[in-house]
Structure 1
Amino acid sequence: MSIPQSGGGPIERYEQLVEYLESGCKPKADWRIGTEHEKFGYCRDTLRPLPYDGPRSIKAMLEGLRDRYGWAPILEQDNIIGLELNGANISLEPGGQLELSGAPLQSIHETCDEVNEHLREVKTVADEIGAGFIGLGAAPQWLHEDMPQMPKGRYRLMTDYMDSVGDLGKQMMYRTCTVQVNLDFASEADMTKKLRIGLALQPVATALFANSPFLEGKPNGHKSWRSRIWRNLDDARTGMLPFVFEEGFGFEAWVEYALDVPMYFVYRDGKYINALGQSFRDFLKGKLPALPGETPTLSDWADHLTTVFPEARIKKYMEMRGADGGPWRRLCALPAFWVGLLYDEGAMDAAWDLVKGLDAETREGLRVAASVDGLQGESGGVKLRDLAARAVDIAETGLKARAIPGAGGMIPDETHFLNALQESIETGKVPADELLERYEGAWAGDLTRIYSEFSY
């Protein structure tokens, strides 16, 4: 999750909320790729989650990365809660999941190099303290009471609020991991088209990257339990957003949606002030109960936008949010999938043609089917495996058209990053299927084997 935003002046006009989003528009030459991924840390001898403090801990990991590789610390109330270096940052999810928010980069080659370097650094420090890290969509064995709580005020507030709006919110916070990609847009029309495609094809990403078939030590009946969690979390801020497909959608419609999302907090002087359930519309009028008489800044607006959690969302850029965390090949495949679809005009036109006929009921049905059945799911007569095959073909065409070489020109383009997805389409199997096969076969129900065989 996001770190506090900064640098925004006072909001004096409603139009500034729209202008904030519009300011993210960039010419195509300036479009970049930002890859984010989370992973679970654990103690190698006990297979228990890493605590925040102690010689073998999340804090020790952050300090080790700081001291060995020159990352600058990010502090909250004198606690180290993140790191930053060269446009990238490392942050903590509520249960100690370690997240890399990568720098904005030009190619999939660069973002995959960044992923590999980060995982190498993490493994070096983890080996020194007896820790391990694994990429999965959901913690396979741990209970809620097993999870540590990171010393971040934002998470304390959210934890208290989650049970009042849904029944799986704390599972999302403490026991899930994702991989996502952040992309740019050129204009309001470009943003609208990309967001519609992103939402409509998010079930395909969920299916292809499904990697959370276990919960509390046994199969949970879903290929992506992480996706299942998001369906019972908080209806006010999650979902597939049918209004995005309505005529006239644009930045102002997103502002109106976000204004209706209840607030979590206001960040002031290094502290999170409880504004749970309060209205940003009241804040604009100086009538926020948490800060009577005070009006918001653009930093407050930026913070509030980070508390909106649909399957795809916009800030000054667009985030694709539907995929489970997973093995390193999938960490590179996700940006390749979306960049191939959305960063080439011909590919984006083909992607829109692929999904423009899907209605809201079918899109939502595919979302559910992806979480339950992975590529074997279907809704409204649409089979996810067929839809995925066509989408990946379009993405490959888009990456070929980009023709960005790697390895000093030895690799002609970025298409090879789609190989893992093409293999899944050919076999019909996603990571969750492999895990279930091993659990029921070679592992004979011993889920502890997952750590030795699937850690980074």
Structure 2
Amino acid sequence: MPDTSPPISGKADLVGFLESGAKPADQWRIGTEHEKFAYDLETLGPVPYDGPRGVKALLEGLYPHGWEPVYEGDNVIALKSDHHNSVSLEPGGQVELSGAPLKNLHQTCDEVTSHRRIVKEVGAALGIGFLGLGFHPAWKREDIHWMPKGRYAIMRRYMPTVGSLGLDMMLRTCTVQVNLDFADEASMVEMYRVSAALQPVATALFANSPFTEGGPNGYLSYRMHIWTDTDADRCGMPEFVFEDGFGFERYVDYLLDVPMYFVKREGRYIDAAGQSFRDFMAGKLPALPGELPTMADFEDHLSTVFPDVRLKRYLEMRGADGAPWSRLCALPALWTGLLYDAQSRGAALELIAGWTAEDRAHLRREVPRLGLATPFRGATVRELALTVLGLAREGLARRNIPSALGNDEQHYLDPLQKVADSGQTPAEELLEAFHGRWTGTVCRVLEEYGY
């Protein structure tokens, strides 16, 4: 089909696109996304795309549960529903639920629970299981099957030219993230600064990737370490967000300086890896000389930028490892309580106000290795996490949104509170089992933590 997206007349259109996400607080929503590894229950190995125990068969098995296929060429590469959510495939066959924008944590947790039940039921009939960890504990990169999506082929070629761990990011990692709204530019700036500075706290609380190819890798969140050597042009924590003058326009300038991956035309991906969106706007893109971009091109480009917190027409929190079902509702609880309550958000801004660029870099560098034990400003990240959880809990209490049973949203934080109170990250729990009852057999994680 021909592209019907409106053309871009100038940078102001891009600024306006981001700004158009602003909405009143009573219309703010919570969107939760999570990825999980699909594995063969018999061999414990990766699942291919095709075949009776393939990812395609899994997607087809979900059709009767209210999902419709999305095709790329002849291949089913995603599912969509009438509830504004979707199921999609990551490069190595990781299965992702992109949840609908929902009013409260009770609804988002119901969505996650329903999805888990259905996927587990369909998977079991096919001999497919699921695992929620940040990095696959056993598989080698070369054993994993690539999914048939055009953008992944371009990224696969480009990634090794800009970092040593980009293919691992694509094939062997999983995350859980939450997407949140903002009221205007000022609230966006506050939310971005709080979430960017405190993203390492979420990394520590969710640290869940201590194994590589059957043994300990020296990290608690190896997934987060991978982002430090994936592609410096599009990953990390943009320090300019803490500078005076940060807003939508400054973020657009950043986006325009991130090299492109591709342009999509009539369902086909055109390789533009390393080329400039600024040149595209001037009609000078080598991949499409003389052609100007549309807003759909800009949205595609937005999806290829991977900072720890990503601004679209909402904010994405991207610092947490994939997790078992029991912890999936905790991440949206953390950030909703912290950012959607003005009083808690203000207290968080005060908490981070004196931090330097080196403080923030220290957290991002050391937390993947040391987790809650990371030294920070005379204490540890554990003490920081306890403070942050307290602010989030207070924010959820003030929201005071009851479930059908009368409980408010605070209890969704309990799994993280347990981690912070004990000082033991999920990764350290896994390592303890590996060196103890699992007797050095990492695949035992599937028995205890598989869906």
TM-score normalised per structure 2: 0.98
- Give the match's secondary structure for 2:236: coil
CA contact (8 A) 1:93 1:99 kept: yes
- The question of whether the paired residues in 2 share the 8 Å contact of 1:369 and 1:379 is answered with no
Corresponding position: 1:303 with 2:300: yes
Q: Contact (CA 8 Å) 1:280, 1:288: kept in 2 or not?
A: yes
Q: Corresponding residue for 2:420?
A: 425
Q: Distance in 2 between matches of 1:330 and 1:340?
A: 16
Q: 1:133 aligns with which of 106, 111, 130?
A: 130
Do structure 1's residue 96 and structure 2's residue 63 form an aligned pair? Answer: no
Residue of 76, 79, 90 corresponding to 1:80 = 76
Residue 382 of structure 1 and its aligned partner are, at CA, apart by: 4.7
Quick check: 1:333 aligned with 2:330? yes
**Within 1, Cα distance between the matches of 2:317 and 2:353?**
18
Q: Tell me the equivalent position of 1:47.
A: 44
Aligned equivalents of 1:329, 1:392: Cα separation in 2: 18
Does residue 350 (structure 1) correspond to residue 347 (structure 2)? The answer is yes
Matches within 5 A, 1:251-270: 251-270=248-267
* C-alpha contact (below 8 Å) 1:141/1:216 kept by paired residues: yes
**Cα distance in 1 between the residues matched to 2:450 and 2:306:** 28
Distance 2:385 2:349 in 1: 14
Hey, what does 2:440 align to over in structure 1?
Answer: 445
8 Å CA contact retained: 1:285, 1:295: yes
Instruction: State the alpha-carbon separation in 1 of the partners of residues 238 and 380 from structure 2.
Output: 21
- Give the distance between the partners of 1:96 and 1:379, measured in 2 at CA: 38
Give the superposition deviation at 1:7: 6.5
**Within 1, Cα distance between the matches of 2:58 and 2:390?**
40
CA RMSD of aligned residues (A): 0.9
1:411 deviates by: 2.8
Matched, 1:171 2:168: yes
Q: How many angstroms apart in 2 are the aligned matches of 1:183 and 1:105?
A: 10
The answer to whether 1:153 aligns with 2:119 is: no
Paired-residue identity, %: 56
Distance 1:171 1:53 in 2: 22
Unmatched runs of 5 consecutive residues or more in structure 2: none
Taking the aligned partners of 1:205 and 1:356, their CA distance within structure 2 comes to 19
Aligned length: 448
Secondary structure at the residue paired with 1:163?
A: helix
5+ residue gaps, structure 1: 1-5
Of 336, 357, 362, the match for 1:360? 357
Tell me the equivalent position of 1:232.
Answer: 229
Q: Specify which of 5, 10, 20 is matched with residue 13 of structure 1.
A: 10
Q: Which amino acid aligns with 1:453?
A: E
1:360 deviation in Å? Answer: 1.1
Give the deviation of 1:13 after TM superposition.
2.2
Task: State whether residues 330 and 420 of structure 1, in contact with CA within 8 Å, keep that contact through their aligned partners in structure 2.
Answer: yes
User: Could you tell me the TM-score, scaled by structure 1's length?
Assistant: 0.97
Q: After the TM superposition, which residues 366-405 of structure 1 pair with which residues of structure 2 at under 5 Å, given as runs?
A: 366-405=363-402
Instruction: Letter of the 1:129 partner, please give it.
Output: L
User: Where has structure 1 moved over 4 Å in runs of 4 or more?
Assistant: none
Q: Is the 8 A contact 1:329 1:417 kept in 2?
A: no
Give the 3-state SS of the residue equivalent to 2:161 in structure 1: coil
Distance (Å, rounded) in 2 between the aligned partners of 1:411 and 1:441: 41
CA distance in 1, matches of 2:5, 2:246: 26
- Residue in 2 that maps onto 1:70: 66
> Which deviates further from its counterpart, 9-18 or 180-189?
9-18
Alignment-mate amino acid for residue 68 of structure 2 = A
